[in-house]
Amino acid sequence: MDPNQPVTENYANPKTCFFHVLFKAAALAFYILSAIFFNSFVIIFVVTVLLAALDFWVVKNVSGRILVGLRWWNEINDIGESVWRFECLDQESLARMNKKDSWLFWWTMYLAAVAWIILGIFSLIRFQADYLLVVGVCLTLSIANIIGFTKCRKDAKKQIQAFATQTIASRFSSTLQSAFSVI
């Protein structure tokens, strides 16, 4: 699990990946299967939303950092404005991130959101307002994470470009200088 080793085919952080998927799958599974076992809507609601919240927390704080090196949060600064902050690893480390890890990270996030949308459509069709509430909450959480990390990734790309142009410019100028010093 040492991310410094060249990872060609295996997941670099299998346990993190496992937890990343675990809570999403547990929330979806519990929601879908609970109708068979439980009669009480309250239990379904509380457990499903609890699992979705845990998933949100794990993705935002654990797997985001470990699997893709991104992080986002919100701050309120001194003058009382709300500021969203996005952070990423430096370019070298980003390039070293395991491809499989990040593939898993993004695709499970998207798939989970799509699954909740489908479940929401089902409960709309059946006119079950309470289940729609559950789906709504879980969907909000998934989408919040997706938006946060997508913005973070765009931000990271912009920074990489800026860094790259800056590096190219500085190297260019130093090459020029060394060329001139030789002449």
Partner 1 sequence: MSHQQNYGDTIPLHSSSQSDIDEIENLIHSSLSSSSPVPPASSARTPSPPRAQIPVSSSLPPLPPTSHKPLPVPVVPSVRIPAAPAIPSSSNPRSGIEGFGPPPNTLTEPVWDTVKRDLSRIVSNLKLVVFPNPYREDPGKALRDWDLWGPFFFIVFLGLVLSWSASVKKSEVFAVAFAVLAAGAVILTLNVLLLGGHIIFFQSLSLLGYCLFPLDIGALICLLKDNVIVKIIVVSMTLAWSSWAAYPFMSTAVNPRRKALALYPVFLMYVSVGFLIIAID
Residues that bind partner 1 (CB under 8 A): 1-4, 12-13, 15-16, 19, 40-42, 45-46, 49-50, 52-54, 56-57, 60-62, 65-66, 69, 71-78, 80-93, 96, 129-130, 133, 137, 140-141, 144, 148, 151, 155, 158-159, 163
User: What is the smallest separation between the CB atom of 145 and partner 1, expressed in angstroms?
Assistant: 9
Identity of the amino acid at 35: A
| Helix-then-strand count for the chain, H and E | 5, 2
User: What is the smallest separation between the CB atom of 99 and partner 1, expressed in angstroms?
Assistant: 17
Q: Which is nearer to partner 1, 25 or 54 (CB)?
A: 54
User: What is the smallest separation between the CB atom of 174 and partner 1, expressed in angstroms?
Assistant: 16
Q: Which is nearer to partner 1, 115 or 138 (CB)?
A: 138
User: What is the smallest separation between the CB atom of 36 and partner 1, expressed in angstroms?
Assistant: 17
What six digits make up the tokens of 7?
A: 């990872």
Please tell me the distance from the alpha carbon of residue 73 to that of residue 139, in angstroms, as a whole number: 19
Q: Which is nearer to partner 1, 104 or 181 (CB)?
A: 104
User: What is the smallest separation between the CB atom of 182 and partner 1, expressed in angstroms?
Assistant: 27
Q: Which of 104, 106, 132, 101 is nearest to 118 (CA)?
A: 132
Beta strands in the chain (DSSP E): 70-76, 82-88
In 10 A of CB 132, how many CB atoms?
18
Q: What are the two backbone dihedrals, phi and then psi, of residue 3, each rounded to the nearest 5 degrees? A: -70, -10
Q: Which is nearer to partner 1, 93 or 173 (CB)?
A: 93
* Beta-carbon contacts of residue 166 (< 8 Å; ≥ 6 apart): none
